[in-house]
């Protein structure tokens, strides 16, 4: 059994962001990409991460992009902020995944794809809120936390899966009292994200039936996006699809639009 206190303790003790990244993130929040790029330029590991991330096929650049200022200019304010959050995740990514059959290359591909697809969705919905852009980065962060929590109770997790054939999200709720989206909300609070963003990520489970307006629309798109991404063969093999209890009736009215917006990998 994983107590809520243990979950909170683990999240609270996630290593703080390096000062350069914190400064770059603050400038990005303020909309000053020139100063954000100057900060980011000082961190060789961050420079390499940015270059590696934005030159993945999902971004579609024909020529390699390596200048930090150019990268931030291409991404724009909202996507730059989201990318810096993703970099924080790269600092937490385990050298070896204890439970999920996942490589770091696959995990970084998942980050890049979620970021780009979410950007396409928000462009389609004409939403420019920087915090909303960053909301999707909470999902990869939560996968890292789940891996660590499950690793500490690996025998119990494996027994539940073999004897009772339970999915990972059900096991997570049984062991900790929280599901993937509850944990994502806790990480959002730790990262000082807005109450609006935290409420949105909780709603993306698809189980909240009292949603209205923009929050409902965004929750629908995140829910369907996660189902789509986690249904890719690599992530099915890793078991990530087990975290999404797909709510068909929750998203049925956006199917046609979704198929037009999403870029096949």
What is d(CA 186, CA 182) in angstroms, rounded to the nearest whole number? 6
Dump pLDDT digits (tens) for 146-174: 888 887 788 888 888 877 778 888 888 88
Sequence length of the chain is: 265
Domain boundaries, the chain: 78-261
What is the predicted pLDDT for the residue at 229? 95
Average pLDDT, the chain: 85
Helix 104-125 / helix 138-152 crossing angle, nearest 10 deg: 150
What is d(CA 47, CA 44) in angstroms, rounded to the nearest whole number? 5
- If you write DSSP's letter for every residue of 73-97 in order, what string do you get? HHHHHHHHHHHHHHHHHHHH--SS-
Nearest residue to 85 (alpha-carbon basis) of 126, 114, 120? 114
Dump pLDDT digits (tens) for 101-125: 899 889 988 988 998 899 899 999 9
What is d(CA 11, CA 145) in angstroms, rounded to the nearest whole number? 8
Dump pLDDT digits (tens) for 184-236: 998 888 777 889 999 999 999 988 878 888 989 999 999 999 999 999 999 99
Residues whose CB is less than 8 angstroms from the CB of residue 137 and which lie 6 or more positions away in sequence, other chains included: 82, 85, 86, 89, 111, 114, 115
């Amino acid at each position: 059994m994983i107590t809520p206190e243990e979950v909170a303790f683990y999240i609270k003790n996630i290593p703080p962001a390096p000062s350069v990244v914190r400064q770059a993130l603050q400038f990005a929040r303020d909309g000053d990409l020139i100063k954000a790029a100057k900060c980011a330029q000082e961190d060789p590991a961050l420079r390499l991460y940015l270059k590696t991330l934005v030159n993945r096929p999902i971004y579609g650049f024909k020529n390699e992009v390596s200048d930090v200022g150019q990268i931030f200019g291409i991404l724009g304010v909202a996507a730059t902020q989201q990318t810096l959050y993703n970099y924080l995740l790269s600092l937490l990514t385990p050298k070896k995944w204890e439970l999920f059959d996942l490589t770091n290359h696959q995990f970084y591909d998942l980050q890049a794809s979620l970021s780009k697809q979410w950007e396409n969705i928000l462009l389609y919905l004409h939403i420019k809120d920087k915090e909303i852009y960053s909301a999707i980065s909470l999902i990869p962060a939560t996968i890292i936390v789940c891996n660590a929590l499950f690793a500490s109770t690996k025998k119990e997790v494996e027994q539940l899966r073999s004897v009772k054939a339970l999915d990972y999200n059900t096991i997570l709720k049984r062991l900790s009292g929280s599901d993937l989206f509850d944990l994502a909300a806790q990480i959002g609070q730790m990262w000082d994200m807005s109450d609006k963003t935290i409420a949105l990520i909780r709603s993306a489970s698809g189980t909240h039936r009292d949603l209205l307006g923009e929050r409902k629309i965004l929750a629908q798109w995140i829910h369907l996006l996660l189902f789509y991404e986690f249904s890719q063969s690599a992530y099915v093999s890793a078991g990530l699809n087990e975290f999404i209890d797909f709510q068909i009736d929750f998203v049925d009215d956006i199917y046609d639009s979704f198929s037009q917006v999403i870029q096949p990998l």
